[in-house]
Amino acid sequence: MSQNSKDTLTIKGIDTPVLRIALGTWAIGGWMWGGPDDDNAIKTIHKAIDNGINLIDTAPVYGFGHSEEVVGKALQGKRDKIVIATKVALNWSDDKEKVFRDARPARIRKEIEDSLTRLKTDYIDLYQIHWPDDKTPVEESAIELEKLRKEGKIKAIGVSNFSVQQMEAIRQYTKLSAIQPPYNLFEREIEADVLPYAEKHDLAVLCYGPLCRGLLSGKMTKDRVFNGDDLRKSDPKFSSPAFDHYLAATEELKTFAKDTHNKSLLALAVRWVLDKYQGNIPLWGARKPEQIEGIRDALGWSLSANDLNTINDILNKHIKKPISPEFMAPPNR
């Protein structure tokens, strides 16, 4: 991974330098986000590209193929300028009620062909194992991914939600270019081991949830209600009394961002992720064009050591027991 400027980088195995903010498309798939809105989704992707974003992250499980289909449609005529990251190794029941981990070679082989079709492309830039599958030997999964790379169907290999030990295991059989963990001001577990490991081995870190599912957007209020299949209904951060503590922290962070840098809380939250490690790429999740507003506000400046200390003080003041994102993990096969 080489740096071209503070806000761009080149991921190992991929020639095209990417802006260090990528578009995350989980919400575009509709599942767990209140259903799809394809017209707005395509406009959102185009607006992201117009704002300089050239890395788009998706996955088959986002809407059970729907997110990939929308991305593929939106990138017609633009494919050669965009770095596509998608994932593999989650399976689901026919009724789509159960999602489970499945990194068997046969599953990987089926998924790559399905993803290429949905994305309307003949190669994927970054192909990531979505969650570790404890029931499939890592060697089998890695060898299949290596085959795909040699066939030209993928350029680089990544993993998502892997521990250091799991990354070490897969690196015995294949070159690893990236890791995708949850990371934001409120969910910092990776600082203990995953982030130092990534820095040591020159891995790009695609950070999902940089706004902590809207908590750090600056728009979350105490009376917000989550309906239907909304993921936040099962996130303990969004239930009292924890919700009150997190909201109190966001209010003080919002004031700090405005008074110190004349920036929004959203810009502060994304800049914080960018400044924690030069290989970090926050995934900006959006499903409406107006949600792309503010991307540029996170670029072209940085937080000082004093800023980072002040932010830590605010977090420690309001959040005595940080809640991890473990609730999102799908079961094993």
pLDDT at site 34: 66
- Domain range enclosing 179: 8-214+267-301
For 110-131, write each residue's pLDDT tens digit. Answer: 999 999 999 999 999 999 999 9
On whether residue 241 sits in a domain, the answer given is no
Residue corresponding to tokens 């596509």? 84
On whether residue 146 sits in a domain, the answer given is yes
* Statement: residue 295 has pLDDT above 90: no
For 137-167, write each residue's pLDDT tens digit. Answer: 999 999 999 999 999 999 999 999 999 999 9
pLDDT, greater one: 294 or 130: 130
Mean pLDDT of the chain: 92
Burial 261-290 (b: 16+ CB within 10 A, else e): bebbbbbbbbbbbbbbbebbbbbbbbbebe
pLDDT at site 73: 96
On whether residue 314 sits in a domain, the answer given is no
On whether residue 37 sits in a domain, the answer given is yes
Neighbours of 228 (CB within 10 A): 9
pLDDT, greater one: 245 or 287: 245
pLDDT at site 35: 66
Strand-pairing partners, residue 9, are 3, 18
pLDDT at site 5: 67
Residue corresponding to tokens 């406009």? 43
Strand-pairing partners, residue 83, are 55
CATH number at residue 163: 3.20.20.100
Number of domains in the chain: 1
pLDDT at site 179: 98
For 61-96, write each residue's pLDDT tens digit. Answer: 988 899 999 999 999 999 999 999 999 999 888 888
Of these residues, 62, 127, 197, 277, which one is catalytic?
62
Rg of the chain in Å (alpha carbons): 19
Residues 6+ apart with CB under 8 A from 311: 185, 253, 256, 272, 303
On whether residue 308 sits in a domain, the answer given is no
For 15-69, write each residue's pLDDT tens digit. Answer: 999 999 999 998 887 665 566 688 899 999 999 999 999 999 999 998 889 999 9
pLDDT at site 3: 43
Is 62 annotated in the active site? yes
* Statement: residue 266 has pLDDT above 80: yes
On whether residue 288 sits in a domain, the answer given is yes
For 228-251, write each residue's pLDDT tens digit. Answer: 777 788 889 999 999 999 999 999
On whether residue 23 sits in a domain, the answer given is yes
pLDDT at site 4: 44
On whether residue 187 sits in a domain, the answer given is yes
* Statement: residue 102 has pLDDT above 80: yes
